């Protein structure tokens, strides 16, 4: 977050005409905005099967047959998967990687933008590539690739060939986890949801050991307990792994193979740890069909009937925001208080360091609005990217398109 301080928080308004691009190109795809809001980019079509990326009106030098997954990376840049002569690679700000492959997908980026990764396939062999360095070992099949903050990558890989519809072979377990391309010894029927600890050294994931037994692997060691099902585990610290597990039809939170939370829920998922590691939150359902946020095994007193899609802690752990849907409309609740926005959609909220300011983009009747601490700060936009709050919490960066013009606005709270 340190780099946020170097951004321009003073200029109140910067504008870039966006809709006018449509007159220069055959067509312009959905825009992406850089993190610092200084640039807006889109994939544009120049001719039949000729695409490029336009950033603030400037087109990347190279042209491609196909481009997809345009994403903002680091403060002001963009990356995308690009194809030429039926070969794919990743291009960062117009700079192609040297390795080309038959297909590339699943863009992964580290928070600081230091590492970029993706899954790739060449000659029907699969691997992961990070910062232009592909895994040495390739596999028949690969799913669920992840990358840690330090660029360590892992994925579930098939290590034993399996003929079509061979349920006996499947039963023996043909999947393993490969970390930086190197497979672990142990095989399972299924492996899901690899989690790294913050340092990127330890791994935890969910497995199925036979048709109806599920387990958790923590640093190569399979927990002794078996469960009816498991969801994504998360590291509390390097020595403790938390995981929601299902026992007798109810969900409970386990830590290092033993009960951690005492309550049992009809659902328990989206484990979310406060950045200081003090609090553990999760989305739970109790009773059936009533959705709540649980923090350290205590549920919020408010419950919703449809869904809680995601929850977010502020950096200091003092505030927790939940995006939820109740009675057909979306809303945001911060520390148990619903904002009552009755929105058609609520995007990802941004919480200030100390949790006192929460900003979020919502959609209502097809228009985008920016709402900060329950107050609508801007509306009537045709598009908005998620807002950013300055390090001191005094300003909110709005990034959106109004009347065809991209606007970078600084709003004082």
Partner 1 sequence: MNSFIAFIMGPMVWISVIIFLGGLTFKLVGILGAVRQKEPYIYSYMTLKHSLRSIGAWMIPFFPRSARMSPIYYGISYLFHILLFLVPLFLASHIVLINEAFQISWPALNDSVADGLTAGVIAALIFFVVRRFRVPEVNYLTSAMDYILILVVLLPFLTGFLAYHQWVAYQWITVIHILSGELMLIIIPFSRFSHMLNAPLTRAYMGSEFGQVRQAKDW
Partner 2 sequence: MKTKENPMTDTPSSVEKPTDPAIESGLERLTPDRIQQVIQDVLKKETGPRFKAYVETCMHCGLCAEACPYFLSNDRDPQFMPAAKVKNTIWEMLKKNGNVSKDFLRRAVRISHLECNVCKRCSMYCPFGIDIAYMMLLVRRICHKLEITPQYIQDTVNSHSVTLNQMWVKDDEWIDTLQWQEEDARDEFEDLEIPLDKMGADIMYSVIAPEPKFQAGLIYQAATMMHAAGINWTMPSTPGWDNSNMAMYTGDNEISGRIARAFFETAAKLRVKRIVMGECGHAFRSVYDMGNRWNSWVMPPFEVVHALAFYHELLTEGRITIKEKYKKKVTLHDPCNVSRGRGLHDKAREVVNMVCEDFVDMVPNREHNYCCGAGGGVINCGPPYKGERMVNNRVKAEQLAATGAEVLIAPCHNCHSGLEDIVHHYDLKMEIKFLGDLIYETMDKKIYTPGA
Residue 319 Cα to chain centre, angstroms: 20
Select the residue interacting with partner 2 from 4, 38, 68, 379 (CB under 8 A). Answer: 68
Contact call for residues 41 and 18 (beta carbons, < 8 A): no
Given the complex with partner 1, which of 164 and 288 has the nearer CB atom?
Answer: 288
Q: What is the rounded CA–CA span in Å between residue 233 and residue 191? A: 12
**Residue spans of beta strands (DSSP E) within 238-278:** 240-247, 250-255, 258-259, 267-273
The residue range among 5-13, 63-71, 255-263, 371-379 that interacts with partner 2, by the rule CB under 8 A, is: 63-71
Half-sphere exposure (CA, 13 Å, Cβ side) for 147? 23
Q: Is 224 one of the binding residues for partner 2 (CB under 8 A)?
A: no
Select the residue interacting with partner 2 from 5, 26, 95, 337 (CB under 8 A). Answer: 26
To the nearest 10°, report the CA torsion of 399, 401, 310, 354. 20
Residue ranges that bind partner 1, judged by CB under 8 A: 287-289
| Binds 105: which of partner 1, partner 2, none (CB < 5-8 Å by kind) | partner 2
Residue 118 Cβ, how far from partner 2 at the closest point, in Å? Answer: 11
Residue 249 Cβ, how far from partner 2 at the closest point, in Å? Answer: 7
Residue 160 Cβ, how far from partner 2 at the closest point, in Å? Answer: 13
93-152 binders of partner 2 (CB under 8 A) = 102-106, 119, 121, 126, 141-143
Contact call for residues 400 and 381 (beta carbons, < 8 A): yes
Contacts of 16-22 with C-beta under 8 Å, sequence gap 24+, read 16/40, 16/56, 16/57, 16/405, 16/406, 16/408, 17/57, 17/404, 17/405, 17/406, 18/42, 18/401, 18/404, 18/405, 18/406, 19/401, 19/404, 19/405, 20/404, 21/54, 21/57
Residue 233 Cβ, how far from partner 2 at the closest point, in Å? Answer: 15
Given the complex with partner 1, which of 277 and 289 has the nearer CB atom?
Answer: 289
Q: Find, among 34, 32, 88, the residue nearest to 43 by Cα.
A: 32
Strand-pair category, 240-247 with 229-230: antiparallel
Contacts of 309-314 with C-beta under 8 Å, sequence gap 24+, read 310/270, 310/283, 310/348, 311/270, 311/272, 311/281, 311/282, 311/283, 312/272, 312/348, 312/349, 312/351, 313/272, 313/273, 313/274, 313/275, 313/279, 313/281, 313/351, 314/351, 314/352, 314/353, 314/354, 314/355
324-343 binders of partner 2 (CB under 8 A) = 325
Residue 288 Cβ, how far from partner 1 at the closest point, in Å? Answer: 5
| Binds 247: which of partner 2, partner 1, none (CB < 5-8 Å by kind) | none
Given the complex with partner 2, which of 235 and 347 has the nearer CB atom?
Answer: 347
Given the complex with partner 2, which of 107 and 148 has the nearer CB atom?
Answer: 107
Residue 289 Cβ, how far from partner 1 at the closest point, in Å? Answer: 5
Residue 213 Cβ, how far from partner 1 at the closest point, in Å? Answer: 23
| Binds 143: which of partner 1, partner 2, none (CB < 5-8 Å by kind) | partner 2
Q: Is 382 one of the binding residues for partner 2 (CB under 8 A)?
A: no
> Considering Cα of 81, then 87, then 93, then 95, what sign does the dihedral take?
positive
Given the complex with partner 2, which of 156 and 410 has the nearer CB atom?
Answer: 156
How many residues in the shown chain lie near partner 2 by CB under 8 A?
A: 58
Q: What is the rounded CA–CA span in Å between residue 340 and residue 325? A: 11
Q: Is 209 one of the binding residues for partner 2 (CB under 8 A)?
A: no
Select the residue interacting with partner 2 from 62, 63, 75, 344 (CB under 8 A). Answer: 344
| Binds 235: which of partner 2, partner 1, none (CB < 5-8 Å by kind) | none
Binding site for partner 2 (CB under 8 A): 26-27, 29-30, 45, 48-49, 66, 68-69, 102-106, 119, 121, 126, 141-143, 164-168, 170-171, 175, 189-190, 192, 208, 211-212, 214, 228-229, 246, 248-249, 266-267, 269, 285, 288-289, 305-307, 309-310, 325, 344-345, 347, 363, 383
């Amino acid at each position: 977050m340190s780099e946020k301080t170097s951004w321009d928080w003073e200029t109140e308004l910067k504008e870039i005409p966006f809709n006018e691009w449509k007159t220069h190109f055959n067509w312009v795809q959905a825009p992406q905005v850089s993190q610092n809001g200084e640039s807006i980019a889109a994939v544009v079509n120049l001719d039949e099967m000729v695409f490029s990326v336009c950033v603030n009106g400037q087109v990347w030098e190279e042209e491609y047959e196909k481009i997809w997954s345009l994403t903002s990376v680091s403060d002001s840049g963009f990356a995308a998967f690009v194809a030429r002569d039926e070969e794919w690679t990743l291009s960062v700000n117009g700079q192609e990687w040297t390795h080309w492959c038959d297909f590339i997908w699943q863009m992964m980026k580290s928070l600081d933008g230091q590492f970029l990764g993706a899954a790739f396939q060449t000659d029907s062999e699969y691997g992961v590539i990070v910062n232009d360095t592909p895994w040495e070992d390739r596999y028949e099949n690969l799913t669920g690739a992840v990358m840690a903050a330090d660029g360590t990558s892992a994925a579930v890989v098939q290590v034993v060939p399996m003929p079509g519809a061979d349920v006996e072979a499947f039963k023996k377990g043909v999947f393993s986890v490969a970390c930086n391309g190197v497979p672990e010894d142990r095989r399972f029927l299924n492996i899901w949801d690899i989690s790294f600890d913050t340092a990127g050294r330890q791994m935890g994931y969910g497995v199925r050991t036979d048709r109806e037994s599920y387990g958790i692997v923590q640093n190569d060691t399979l927990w002794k307990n078996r469960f009816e099902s498991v969801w994504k585990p998360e590291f509390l610290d390097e020595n403790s792994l938390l995981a929601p597990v299902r026992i007798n039809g109810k969900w409970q939170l386990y830590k290092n193979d033993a009960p951690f939370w005492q309550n049992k829920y009809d659902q328990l998922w989206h484990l979310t740890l406060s950045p200081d590691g003090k609090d553990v939150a999760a989305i739970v359902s109790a009773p059936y069909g009533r959705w709540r946020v649980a923090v350290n095994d205590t549920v919020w007193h408010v419950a919703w009937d449809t869904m809680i899609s995601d929850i977010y802690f502020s950096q200091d752990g003092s505030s927790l925001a939940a995006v939820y849907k109740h009675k057909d409309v979306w809303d945001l609740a911060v520390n148990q208080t619903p904002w009552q926005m009755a929105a058609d959609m609520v995007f990802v909220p941004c919480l200030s360091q100390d949790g006192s300011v929460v900003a979020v983009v919502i959609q209502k009747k097809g228009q985008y609005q920016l709402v900060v601490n329950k107050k609508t700060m801007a509306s009537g936009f045709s598009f908005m990217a998620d807002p950013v709050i300055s390090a001191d919490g005094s300003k909110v960066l709005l990034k959106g398109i109004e009347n065809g013009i991209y606007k970078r606005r600084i709003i004082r709270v």
